[in-house]
Amino acid sequence: MVLLIKIIDMIKAGVLGAGHLGKIHLRLLQASERFELIGFFDPNKKNTQSLAKEKGYTAFESEADLIKACDMVDIVTPTIYHHQNAINAINQGKHIFIEKPIANSVAEANEITFLARKRGVLGQVGHVERYNPAFKAIKDAVTQPKFIESHRLAEFNPRGTDVPVVLDLMIHDIDVLLSVVDAEVKTVSASGVAVISNTPDITNARIEFQNGCVANLTASRISLKKMRKTRFFQKNAYIAVDFLEKKVEVVKMKSAPEKPEDFALILENAQGDKKQIYFENPQIEDTNAILEELEDFANTIQNNNPVAVSLENGTQALELAYQIMECCKV
């Protein structure tokens, strides 16, 4: 009886798109205790037959058939198809989890958001770095940052070159940035260079917010080494996150006591003000970020919790990404 109740409570999920990331989503949804994996649809017949045979996933004959059988549609198709996939699912009253970026244009993203709200459908965007255990460990410590510096470097891979590096890589950091800065964007400046692709492969952006915070973001997909690091500077604190290695540094300062301990680290500025430095070591959990974001969305669906990374959040990130790309045009 307990097992029967558990099955009833599981969310029927189907995956649109079975490429590199789609295969990961299929594996995680099948392993999850929150979802019942119904199957997948991919227009590549050869890939579909191979995946169904090797992994035992149910392959649907059409997108419409898959959507009809689901409670939640996991959209992991190329970005150019996100809009139509999402509209098809929403029109059938299905909740959607949609990989980043939410759509190929801001207009498409706005339409998805509007229709989902109109139909009472829930949607979450797969900005997975929000669930990176290193970022989660320090997020609450980031309060009113004044300067943010981010470097996201990747080795060349033809798989992501159908879109500019801003939409491929930098958008991760754009979303992280917007999640910690509670202010409107004031100005954007950027430059980018198309080295190998027809669109910029490396881009640097400077974003200034109305509250005075400034962010400097760099993304490259032609690097000789991988790097995904962000540093936050705020009054009396320096916080660094290594998204790739899942490591953090938290350095805080406060006025030094009159009689500090013997091994206390004290800094004194030119005005004679003394600060004592403290090092914190937040606990970093060993979690799978993609599985966690999917199961968090399950909690939203079942318990009416707020959506962690909403369609509106995804649209805001995309809008800022396009502002950056507009600055890069010659």
Instruction: Look up residue 237 and give its two tokens.
Output: 């604190």
* Least confidently predicted of 56-60, 73-77, 162-166, 194-198: 162-166
Report how far residue 306's alpha carbon sits from residue 302's, in angstroms, rounded to the nearest whole number: 11
pLDDT of residue 255: 76
Instruction: Specify the 3-state DSSP secondary structure of 260.
Output: coil
Instruction: Specify the 3-state DSSP secondary structure of 279.
Output: strand
Report how far residue 198's alpha carbon sits from residue 134's, in angstroms, rounded to the nearest whole number: 34
Helices 106-119 and 79-91 meet at what angle, rounded to 10?
20
Model confidence over 227-263: pLDDT tens digits? 999 999 999 899 999 999 999 999 988 777 777 676 6
pLDDT of residue 160: 64
**Per-residue pLDDT for 329 more than 90?**
no
pLDDT averaged over every residue in the chain: 92
pLDDT of residue 259: 73
Q: Is 220 or 262 the better-scoring residue by pLDDT?
A: 220
Model confidence over 277-302: pLDDT tens digits? 888 889 999 999 999 999 999 999 99
**What are the C-alpha distances in Å from 47 to residues 15, 98, 99?**
14, 21, 20
- Calculate mean pLDDT across residues 42-62: 94
| Torsional class of 264: left (φ above 0), alpha (ψ -120 to 50), beta (otherwise) | beta
Given the DSSP bridges, would you call strands 95-99 and 72-75 parallel, antiparallel or unpaired?
Answer: parallel
Question: Which domains are delineated in the chain?
Answer: 2-127+290-309 (3.40.50.720), 130-248+319-328 (3.30.360.10)
Model confidence over 123-172: pLDDT tens digits? 999 999 999 999 999 999 999 999 999 999 999 887 666 778 999 999 99
DSSP secondary structure string for all residues of 142-177: --S-SEEEEEEE----GGGTTS-HIIIIIHHHHHHH
